[in-house]
Structure 1
Amino acid sequence: MDFHNEYIILSQHPSSHVLEIRFHFNGQNIRLFFTKSEKHQFLVLICELDTATVIKNIPFYEFNLRMHINGYWDNGYEYVKEYLLDKDYKMTTFYNYLRGAIQMIAKQTSSSKEQTDFKIYHYTLSEGLNLLQNLKEKSTTPHETIYFNHVRRRNISDNQYAKVKLLLGKDAANYLASLNLTAVFTSDIRKQRKLVLEEST
């Protein structure tokens, strides 16, 4: 999913801090965290539902000089489908609302009346990482190894290909396989990074 314009808006936030955008969707509390510091690069969605706290890690990767995200849900889908799905079983409305929340940052002024729907918080890197870790510990997947950290020069196995496709998307899986690389994931949400897919010439 092309997410370049939203990434540009988010990137205007100081890289030494963590940005949080908070809003409600269908009565549920939604929190989006972003940072692009040198050692910590992530976009994480926290859904504080009536029934559970669900984390959707949103891996972003660079391809053809544009930023993309993998919007596919796996872990937590059973919890969020009641609140986030459209009647056609897609999440178009939710992702459009999420884009609107991010675009609100670009429109925000000190006198803006639109700030009531989307609340914006700024944390130091340490504060933001600790907050995110605490939320992860309370989530439905506190120990899952699902956060991309780095690549390793090794032929990708069928199981690892399937995992990369699930977590990062088909483009990322095919790219790594073509270069005899595999992705290494971590369970520490604070250590995830973005994946850069270099355009072939």
Structure 2
Amino acid sequence: MAKLEYPSSESNSGTSRRALLRGLAVAPVVASTIASPWSDALAALHRRYEDEPAKLVRTKEGRSISRFRYHNAERRWMLTDIVAFPGSRFTNPALHFAGFVCQQALCAYLLDVGFADEWNAQHIRQDIAKALAYANACGFGHDCPDMARLAVVLSPYWKWGYHYDEWEEDRPQTGGFIPATITPLVRALVDCVHDVTGHPRPKGCQRGPQEARS
């Protein structure tokens, strides 16, 4: 098997994320048997969502798809600089746009830790809250209450691709989010995926002087 890339960050206490990922790169492991701290959290999520247990195994192909998904998220989010996204008053399109970006970014992380693309397609789909829950259960570490609340509002994000009139009683609720409050939350989520996976940003998407020089 080809040598895999690993994020540079590593915990100094307990079982580090890097050590867990190295183990997953060696052989397939059923999620329910993964060493602490992932096993209990994953088992609880499988019961909660009635999902088929995921088999986590890191491969070169999975890493490549992960990078592709992350770049999808970054490139789509780059459009917000062009269309003055934060200043827009149209919340529904903004939520649909944000939902796609979050789905791509979170699935990039899940792929990186060994979830199969097919499992994500079957069980995650467009449920951003579920994707975030699984990611955090596997060491993502993005425990932002506002992002968690936005993820619930977004899920499933296809619903925001439709126009709803104010008089429609069954229209989805925005939770008070507007483009200006959505933007920093999604940006922080995508940045977190970049940081923990170690994927390079796509060309033209550097976030600071240090990245621009690298």
TM-score by shorter chain over 0.5: no
TM-score normalised to the size of structure 2? 0.28
Larger helix share, 1 or 2: 2
Structure whose CA Rg is larger: 2
